[in-house]
């Protein structure tokens, strides 16, 4: 028995194992429940007591040799299969599908970055608003047409009167967020509020009932219209290029006085006139103005001490211009053939 065991040890030591199948065969043959070593342990029971010590030692050595061999080759084979997988340059690569940002997000982030550089914070608020934040605190008269069902999606109307502070609606602009900021913070306030807004409009290539805005608010002592103009000029040059010109036209919003509308020189033709700017050389970009004292008072800010400016712009139009998208609806359909065309580093 001794010589049989010894020759098995020599046999195992000289064995070569080349792949996982051979390794498994080895395990079953030597280390399996019905394998050679297990048989030898069976036989060992009948060995005479005087030989037990000698044979026992060598039998244990055999078992150890087989186990070491098995573990050694198991490690080597798993290592070589992992490394050969990595180094096999002929293997096909995985079809990793990289996502991309939505074009509206890209433009929104661009706008946010510009204003962040001149000290504006970003504030957000709820899309479901009440009449107070969306209209009343913003100096909308009770009979103002913007409150009408034709413009506003009402979730619940408390009464049939024209306005009721308890009315719940989908915000029609993010000015409602600025009302919240004015209620919660003391001047100086310098913030922009990007977000989704809702208006009851027929959906077409140029209009949608959901769109996105970035509105801005700056309140401090001695804020003047010159500050507004300079801020907007800075924004326009950063956003549309350093040779961009701006022009302000008088306008009307209940929450600003005076109010204006800003145009930028056409980004396509540079102001010469083309079909995008309808041969005017100008593109309408945003609404703006000095915050109406009634708005400051409604938000508990002393209108005798503080003044401010506000502005608001849609994101869809500039995004359409930048990416030459001619149908607004594409932004909402989430067709990945469309979305996959926009890549950016942020
Ligand atoms: N809230 C206005 C709108 O939705 C935009 C605006 C904001 C105009 C601030 C003036 C000042 O159209």
Domain map (residue ranges) of the chain: 2-83, 103-342
Residue pair 207/234 in contact (Cβ under 8 Å)? The answer is no
Q: Is the CB of 308 under 6 A from ligand 1?
A: no
C-alpha of residue 270 to centroid of ligand 1, in Å: 26
In this structure, the strands spanning 256-265 and 154-156 are unpaired
What does the alpha-carbon distance between residue 101 and residue 166 come to, in Å, rounded to a whole number?
38
What does the alpha-carbon distance between residue 96 and residue 116 come to, in Å, rounded to a whole number?
34
Tell which one of 255, 258, 317 to mutate to probe ligand 1, the residue whose CB is within 8 A of the most ligand atoms: 255
Question: Tokens for 117?
Answer: 């550089």
Question: Tokens for 308?
Answer: 């401010």
What does the alpha-carbon distance between residue 234 and residue 240 come to, in Å, rounded to a whole number?
10
C-alpha of residue 84 to centroid of ligand 1, in Å: 62
Q: Which residues of the chain have pLDDT under 70?
A: 79-87, 159-165, 344-346
| pLDDT, position 346 | 47
Among residues 62, 21, 73, which one has the least CA distance to residue 40? 62
Cβ atoms within 10 Å, residue 184 = 10
Residue nearest to atom 6 of ligand 1 (CA): 312
What does the alpha-carbon distance between residue 318 and residue 284 come to, in Å, rounded to a whole number?
10
User: CATH code for 103-342?
Assistant: 3.30.930.10
Q: Is the CB of 175 under 6 A from ligand 1?
A: yes
| pLDDT, position 142 | 84
C-alpha of residue 272 to centroid of ligand 1, in Å: 28
What does the alpha-carbon distance between residue 212 and residue 195 come to, in Å, rounded to a whole number?
6
Q: Is the CB of 289 under 6 A from ligand 1?
A: yes
Residue-wise DSSP of 281-294: SEEEEEEEEEEPHH
Question: Tokens for 183?
Answer: 């209620």
What does the alpha-carbon distance between residue 191 and residue 181 come to, in Å, rounded to a whole number?
8
| pLDDT, position 127 | 97
């Amino acid at each position: 028995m001794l010589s049989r065991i010894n020759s098995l040890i020599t046999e195992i030591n000289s064995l070569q194992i080349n792949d996982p199948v051979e390794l498994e065969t080895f395990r079953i043959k030597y280390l399996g429940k019905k394998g050679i070593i297990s048989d030898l342990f069976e036989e060992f029971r009948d060995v005479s007591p005087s030989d037990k010590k000698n044979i026992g030692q060598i039998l244990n050595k055999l078992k150890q040799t087989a186990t070491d061999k098995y573990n050694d080759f198991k490690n080597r084979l798993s290592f070589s299969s992992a490394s050969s997988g990595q180094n096999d340059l002929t293997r096909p690569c995985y079809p990793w599908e990289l996502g991309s940002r939505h074009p509206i997000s890209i433009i929104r982030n661009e706008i946010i970055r510009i204003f962040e550089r001149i000290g504006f914070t970003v504030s957000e608020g709820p899309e479901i608003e009440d009449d107070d934040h969306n209209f009343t605190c913003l100096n909308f008269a009770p009979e103002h047409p913007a409150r009408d069902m034709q413009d506003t999606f009402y979730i619940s109307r408390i009464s049939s009167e024209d306005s009721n502070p308890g009315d719940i609606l989908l915000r029609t602009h993010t000015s409602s967020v600025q009302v919240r900021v004015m209620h919660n913070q003391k001047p100086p306030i310098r913030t922009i509020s990007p977000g989704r807004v809702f208006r009851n409009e027929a959906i077409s290539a140029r209009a949608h009932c959901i769109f996105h805005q970035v509105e801005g608010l700056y309140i401090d002592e001695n804020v003047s219209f010159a500050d507004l103009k300079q801020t907007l000029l800075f924004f326009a040059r950063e956003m549309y290029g350093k040779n961009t010109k701006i022009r302000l036209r008088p306008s009307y919003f209940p929450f600003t006085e005076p109010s204006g509308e800003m145009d930028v020189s056409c980004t396509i033709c540079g102001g010469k006139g083309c079909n995008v700017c309808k041969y005017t050389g100008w593109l309408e970009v945003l609404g703006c103005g000095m915050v109406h004292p009634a708005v400051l008072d409604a938000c508990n800010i002393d209108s005798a001490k503080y003044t401010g400016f506000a502005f608001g712009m849609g994101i869809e139009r500039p995004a359409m211009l930048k990416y030459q998208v001619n149908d607004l609806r594409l932004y909402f359909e989430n067709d990945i053939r469309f979305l996959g065309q926009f890549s950016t580093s942020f």
